[in-house]
Amino acid sequence: MKEKVKAGIIGAAGYGGAQIARILLAHPDAELVFAGSRSNKGTPAADVYGNLRGRTQLLYVDDNMDGSEEAGKMLLELADSVDVIFTATPQGACAGMMSEALLERCRIIDLSADFRLKDVSVYEKWYKIEHKAPQYLAEAVYGLTEINREKIRDTRILANPGCYTTSSILACLPPVADGLIDTGTLVVDALSGVSGAGRGAKTANLYCEVNESAKAYGVTNHRHTPEIEEQLSYAKGAGTKPVTLTFTPHLVPMNRGILVTAYASLTEKALAADDPADLIRKSYEQHYGSEYFIRLLGEKGCPETRFVEGSNYVDIGFAVDKRCSRLIMMSALDNLMKGAASQAVQNMNVMFGLDEKAGIDFIPDAP
């Protein structure tokens, strides 16, 4: 019998960490060894998340990462018990705990942005904090499975992308990579459910603040902007002008989900085709046709968040606006799943040579 991958979670009481726990508890090839939560230390996980009742007796363990010698020793003891640790923590926490001693014991899948950007100055500019482990940026792999699968297999540090970035990059990457849009004209509008802001109590996220309302935020300065630009620049290719775009996120009154609508002018290459829409359709099929978790809706296929909820799927559609010579790219995903937890488990599956679909092959929950 094949030995199961032993996993632990730091930050298991947040929405993302709780989703990872839920997935791992039913994963055929993995075992959840510990779930950490400093504020809930000693509390049964099922008392905090009632959906876990009858499925686990785990108590939350202290996952203090304050940088003290005692915390460092405790972290290494936890690492000795597992093959992989998921860190669902605020920005800066994972970088603050990173060390060779830790990486000699287990592999890390980080759900924060600590290792997503390769340029430490860009990270510090957009996140307004000092990066505490820049020496590991070069080896960390960006965990968008569909574009970095081979690199993911052997990495020690996996930078798991977030919800806005996953949805935006996957929607735009094929026409960017194939030179079908002018990236200097790229505009990305994204809508998010309230769970994307996390479980912490914030006035702006109270029911009466978000219900029956919608708003833009982080206009011109949202910190996921450079991440989207960096990954699309890689897709565009070395020696080309880096991608710059306008990214505007919006908060809408739903629990979960991301809907991206992106716009860009078609290039001469696309406009010269007998049928630009057919050329674009073939581009998406070439890049994603064999990807299990990407569902291509084709031209004028409009994704809906309700049809990806609770799943690892990304639905992608597009439309050509002939009147304006512009391409409209659309995508939808569940921000807590493909935008966080199930994507992290998908990456774990790749890292440990498991069936990539293991534990995450959920049919979306609709209605």
For residue 81, give both structure tokens. Answer: 């018990």
CATH number of 5-160+340-351: 3.40.50.720
The catalytic residue among 94, 106, 163, 172 is 163
Q: Which fold has domain 164-333?
A: Dihydrodipicolinate Reductase; domain 2 (3.30.360)
Residue 302: active-site member: no
CB 329 within 8 A of CB 178: no
Listed in order, the ranges of the chain carrying CATH 3.40.50.720 are 5-160+340-351
Where in the sequence of the chain do the CATH 3.30.360.10 domains occur?
Answer: 164-333
Kindly report the three-state secondary structure assignment for every residue of 115-134: CCCCCHHHHHHHHCCCCCCH
pLDDT tens by residue, 177-215: 999 999 999 999 999 998 877 776 677 778 878 888 999
For 327, other C-beta atoms within 10 Å of its C-beta total 26
| Residue-level pLDDT at 1 | 56
Residue-level pLDDT, tens digit, the chain, 367 residues: 579 999 999 999 999 999 999 999 999 999 999 999 988 999 999 999 999 999 999 999 988 777 778 888 889 999 999 999 999 999 999 999 999 999 999 999 999 999 999 999 999 999 999 999 999 999 999 999 999 999 999 999 999 999 999 999 999 999 999 999 999 999 999 999 988 777 766 777 788 788 889 999 999 999 999 999 999 999 999 889 999 999 999 999 999 999 999 999 999 999 999 999 999 999 999 999 999 999 999 999 999 999 999 999 999 999 999 999 999 999 999 999 999 999 999 999 999 999 999 999 999 998 8
Query: Cα-Cα-Cα-Cα dihedral of 143, 95, 86, 65, to 10°?
Result: -170
